Structure 1
Amino acid sequence: MKGVRHILTSACLLLLVSCGGGGRDVPPADPGVLFAPNFRDADPVDFPTPRPSSFPVHGIDAARFQNTVDWNVARANGVNFAFLKATEGGDLLDPKFKDHWRGAGRAGVWRGAYHFYYFCTPPEVQARWFISNVPRVSGSLPPVLDMEWNPFSPTCATVRPPAAEVRRQMRVWLRIVEAHYGQRPILYTTPDFYRENGLGRFRGYDFWLRSTAEHLRDSYPGQGWRFWQYSATGLIPGVSGEVDLNAFNGSREDWNDWVIRRAR
């Protein structure tokens, strides 16, 4: 019967993708139902092994730059999960977040939301702003704290606290958000920010690491990781323009186990 249920679940998800999915959220009932990535890259990198293509579970992250996404088509072409930009600082909401959140949910894509941190706003304010804009609903991946320097902000570009203060503010945000959602957040970062602020000191967190020019083992020596953002120039049917590509670190069975443990 277990095999029959799995076949029926797969058939239902395929039907959902082909027929539009209706108007309500459809959190995937079986994380083992996965679609192979039909991705291309406008500027591919020849990574050493293990290459991103050697990992079976792939997804994207999306923000206002991905103005149009047909989530059903994207799902059928290998977008098994999506991290969606929700908030920045203490008062900015990504204008596409609500559309992306609803669209991914209706297509049965595993979805999570991320917050882009500003150093000119207290962490408590930023945590409350994220909580006020990101629904607490079943079938969600853990929230993500995006930590990187922001050279484009007219007010925060030059605000760069010492590493110890960076980590203190991160812990405040993480504590508040984890208490609200009941999930330990994921940490996203870049090579320079990780190195300059000693983020390797954070234990017990899943890391989502950006490295689009060299392998993670060279960008983050010795650091474990759960997600690898390996391209910013991905091309996927259903997604307008270029999009970030991400791989999950593990097998299909590892993905299944991780989602069961970490999704709310």
Structure 2
Amino acid sequence: MGISRRFFVSGAALALAGCGGGPGGKQATLMRPAVLSASNYRASGIPARFGDTDPHDWEGLAPARLPVHGIDAARYQGEIDWRRARAAGVSFAWLKATEGGDHSDPGFHINATRARAAGVPVGAYHFYYFCRSPEEQADWYIRNVPRRRGDLPPVLDIEWNHTSRTCQRRPAAHVTRAEMHRFLAALTRHYGTKPVIYTTIDFWRDNDLSRFSGYEMWLRSVTAHPMERYPGADWSFWQYSGTGVVPGVPGTVDMNAFAGSPGAWQSWLARRAQRA
């Protein structure tokens, strides 16, 4: 999800036994990033309680005009102080849980448990891998993410992975959309609520996702409002920075806004949270 990996303490990583690793038996790690102060990275156009290490010069439809904000994170953020994050205005969080058919993120269960305890609505996202079938990937996600009453809907994070060393496959647009439908249908059946789709500008354009209906969208756009980068698109969440500084979150983190008022957010939660 465009997660920034900067500001890590060199060599500081916690190896977690029993967590899923990648090919070759490499053990996954939970990073220990440097702690930053939001007050040192104030930026116009974003909520005053947050900061940004690489801010955009927001004008007009700036993120700060929306009242409900949250984060998405992975092992690169290390262990998050959720009570502090919530006090700073973090109203929701999605955490990376799985990727492909055999990768799991060691930070998910640690941070999800603590987020729930702090009263932050939390959910899990899956990073899609184009060299595994949708069914394999859905099964892997289901095996790693239990149904939990009150959790946010699952998220399909689907974007081109330009840095992948193992999969350069780029299906045709109609094939991509068909694979998405198969993955999403499997998760809907299991969790009883439709997943949210996270994507990027180029992936949206290349796969004509304006034709993809029936699911809520979470759109990445770090230099303009989504209405400028995704003309005519309906969206529920907007990722407006990949270099955010949020109290309680080590290093930098993706920042997001919900497309509605605090009252609309509470209504969305009541309607969309898992009921298992």
One of 96, 114, 118 as aligned partner of 1:85? 96
The letter for the 1-side match of 2:108 is F
TM-score by length of 1: 0.84
TM-score (norm 2): 0.81
Query: 2 CA distance for matches of 1:103 and 1:89?
Result: 25
2:181 corresponding residue in structure 1: 171
Give 1:253's aligned residue.
Answer: 263
Q: Secondary structure at the match of 1:65?
A: helix
Is residue 2:257 matched to residue 1:214?
no
Structure 1 SS opposite 2:71: strand
**Are positions 1:39 and 2:53 aligned together?**
no
Matches within 5 A, 1:1-264: 38-156=49-167, 158-264=168-274
Offset at 1:114?
0.5
- Using the TM superposition, give the Cα deviation of residue 68 of structure 1 relative to its aligned residue in structure 2, in angstroms: 2.5
Shift of 1:138: 0.6
Contact 1:37 1:77 in 2 (8 A): no
Post-superposition Cα deviations, 1:109-152, rounded to whole Å, max 9, x if no partner, equal 01111000001000000000000001101111110001101122
User: Matched residue of 2:76: which SS?
Assistant: coil
Structure 1 unaligned residues grouped into runs of 5+: 1-35
Match of 2:101, as an amino acid?
G
Decide whether the 8 Å contact of 2:237 with 2:259 is kept in 1: yes
Contact 2:68–2:265 (Cα < 8 Å) also in 1: yes
Give 3-state SS (helix, strand or coil) of 2:241's partner: strand
Separation in 2, partners of 1:37, 1:143: 29
- Quick one: which amino acid aligns to residue 243 of structure 2? T
Please state how far the C-alpha of 1:230 moved relative to its aligned partner.
0.1
Q: Structure 1 residue 37: deviation in Å?
A: 6.8
Change (3 A) 1:50 1:206: same
* Matched-pair contact (CA < 8 Å) for 1:40–1:234: yes
Instruction: Quote the offset at 1:47 in angstroms.
Output: 2.6
Q: Is the 8 A contact 1:47 1:215 kept in 2?
A: no
Separation (CA, whole Å) in 2 of partners of 1:96 and 1:241: 14
Q: Is contact 2:70-2:92 (8 Å) kept?
A: yes
Instruction: Give the length in aligned residue pairs.
Output: 228
CA contact (8 A) 2:79 2:110 kept: no
2:59 and 2:190 map into 1 onto residues whose CA distance is 40
Q: CA RMSD in A?
A: 1.1
Q: 1:61, 1:84 within 8 Å by CA — same for their partners in 2? A: yes
The amino acid that maps onto 1:182 is G
- SS of residue paired to 1:83: strand
Secondary structure of the 1:246 match is strand
Aligned-pair identity in percent equals 55
Shift of 1:40: 1.1
> 1:166, 1:194 → 2: CA distance?
11
Structure 1's consecutive aligned runs of 4 or more residues displaced over 6 angstroms after TM superposition are: none
Q: How much has 1:90 moved relative to structure 2?
A: 0.3
Separation of aligned partners in 2, 1:198 and 1:48: 28
Q: Which has the higher helix share?
A: 1
Runs of at least 5 residues in structure 2 that lack an aligned partner in the other structure: 1-46
Equivalent residue letter for 1:60? I
**Secondary structure, counterpart of 2:77 in structure 1:** coil
Deviation at 1:38, TM superposition (A): 1.8
